[in-house]
Structure 1
């Protein structure tokens, strides 16, 4: 095990201005504010309305926010990883374009795809580069324009998802701050429950697939909920047990913002009070790859050097996992 740990040393974020409220959704599909709020905890989501802007726009904005706050020269960045379920295009990589646009002229880049677990898996990936000792600054971005793949006549999905992006900078720590442990899982038998059926090599786009709306996200909500509730809580508790952490030791749970009931179940399994659970699902909905870094951005001023955080996420595929990280700085 490397003596170098990979610490988060800066955070940035961006959400579009337009608010898609539950009241607006009531005019689009058969739903109401009480039904949405009681089942998901969501009141509104942010939507990137400009049809000429894609996920890269969100990612660039979040990266620029981080660079500004950290007063960092982008030429110092050596690697840019973008976790996204909605890349600008199948080829080429969104990360490569983002790196160029922010001035990371010395960085290489690539995209990572693990659905709503994108950022969690990306944290593990970024940490490996830092721990190798070969890289000093790795920029990890989680960004999605989910509105581009949502059918706003399907109430099972349109009430859930929003657009946004968040970014973190990983750097080496010789004091032991940063990523301490992880437990990542996947189960390919779950891909039938949450997917976009067409647009890939298995079902290339045709007039028929567009007509039949097979390029939108579809989910079996009950199956996804059941699997997420049990597995996100299980891996979070396992990471605590493996590191001999009690509920008193954990300062913050940083959970994927898919559904408030899933978040509550995870916190209960870990024995955590609500005051230790980061939450912004009411304002942003499920931004897929951006949920975790958006939480860090919203709560950054409350985080203290040495705080112990448990990150937990669950996504289509299925993919899921938990990460134990010690916070490296005071805001």
Structure 2
């Protein structure tokens, strides 16, 4: 049974935060941010908006672009690392907001690799239980502005808010998801994350005072992991699909950093003209960045039937993954 992407959708909040605006908050400059990250601006959710609110709009847009209603979806997977709550799953909140009925709904937490993990899980469910799961909605939704320390230039300049979504369904043989490769290295779990607020370090006055409820990231360690493991994941996924780098028509990576994306492309051997970018305008939207960028590529006509598309991400955990599909 071939499973592919039937439709896409995305949502970016209206508020734009430029590098110039950040200069008044943290010790940085527009020139420094652009030269090291390629980011010029990012979006911020309205006050009171949660990840599920952004994901609801992206999900509805994906459904509408496919001519589907929410009642025609058999399952919902939400990839997020800025969930509405520790519990319940943001997917359950989003399911209710979409009015989907009592279908399967769960979160995937693999930080920025979450959408690739979630997409792979959904495809596996559809292939394993085709009578129960004919169509599934996979959403990447992030409100990172809620977990960032605005005074920390090592994180606040990188991240933005947004959501993207895809609808999965049956496609003709030879199309759709051809392969996937996922990996994780838990020995590097401390490189990226929010240290406090869970069962290992419950919330207290001390953890709040130490700002340990904010997102933390070791940039050099992330770079080292990403530039080795992400190219490896992409090559392995292509190998599983019996394809070579020369067969790739478009690569959409997690939009972490323009310089990182360039380094990964060079390591894989994919020219930059085959790489889709949104990082300059939206920054790093974590688990939402791949579906947002894919939706924009589809809207721009960069993806046509028969194209080989690679979706790839690296994230906290540390995690990495790639999916190869032939577009239908």
> TM-score interval w.r.t. the shorter chain?
over 0.9
CA deviation profile, 1:111-138 (whole Å, cap 9, x unmatched): 1101111000011001012212231110
Matches within 5 A, 1:257-276: 257-276=255-274
Structure 1 gaps, min length 5: none
Judge conservation of contact 1:75–1:105 (CA < 8 Å) in 2. yes
State the Cα distance separating 1:67 from its structure 2 match: 2.0
Q: Could you say which residue in structure 2 is the equivalent of 1:246?
A: 244
State the Cα distance separating 1:248 from its structure 2 match: 2.6
* Residue of structure 2 aligned with 1:55, choices 40, 48, 51: 51
State the Cα distance separating 1:290 from its structure 2 match: 0.3
Aligned length: 324
SS of alignment partner, residue 266 of structure 2: helix
Q: Could you say which residue in structure 2 is the equivalent of 1:87?
A: 83
Q: Could you say which residue in structure 2 is the equivalent of 1:152?
A: 150
Q: Could you say which residue in structure 2 is the equivalent of 1:177?
A: 175
For 2:233 and 2:68, locate their aligned partners in 1 and report how far apart those are by CA, in whole Å. 35
State the Cα distance separating 1:106 from its structure 2 match: 4.5
For 1:14 and 1:22, locate their aligned partners in 2 and report how far apart those are by CA, in whole Å. 21
Judge conservation of contact 2:63–2:167 (CA < 8 Å) in 1. no
Matched, 1:108 2:109: no
Change (3 A) 1:310 1:105: same
CA deviation profile, 1:257-291 (whole Å, cap 9, x unmatched): 11112211221122222110011100011101100
Q: Could you say which residue in structure 1 is the equivalent of 2:27?
A: 30
SS of alignment partner, residue 19 of structure 1: strand
Per the normalisation by structure 2, the TM-score is: 0.96
Q: CA RMSD in A?
A: 1.2
CA deviation profile, 1:142-198 (whole Å, cap 9, x unmatched): 001000000010000000000000000010223221111111100001111112110
Q: Could you say which residue in structure 2 is the equivalent of 1:305?
A: 305
Judge conservation of contact 1:13–1:66 (CA < 8 Å) in 2. yes
For 1:290 and 1:242, locate their aligned partners in 2 and report how far apart those are by CA, in whole Å. 26
Q: Could you say which residue in structure 1 is the equivalent of 2:229?
A: 231
CA deviation profile, 1:82-124 (whole Å, cap 9, x unmatched): 1101111111111112112112114220111011110000110
For 2:219 and 2:286, locate their aligned partners in 1 and report how far apart those are by CA, in whole Å. 15
Q: Could you say which residue in structure 2 is the equivalent of 1:190?
A: 188
Q: Could you say which residue in structure 1 is the equivalent of 2:278?
A: 280
For 1:243 and 1:9, locate their aligned partners in 2 and report how far apart those are by CA, in whole Å. 20
For 1:9 and 1:289, locate their aligned partners in 2 and report how far apart those are by CA, in whole Å. 20
Structure 2 gaps, min length 5: none
For 1:238 and 1:128, locate their aligned partners in 2 and report how far apart those are by CA, in whole Å. 18
Matched, 1:11 2:14: no
Per the normalisation by structure 1, the TM-score is: 0.95
State the Cα distance separating 1:44 from its structure 2 match: 0.5
SS of alignment partner, residue 101 of structure 2: coil
Deviates more, 1:12-21 or 1:93-102: 93-102
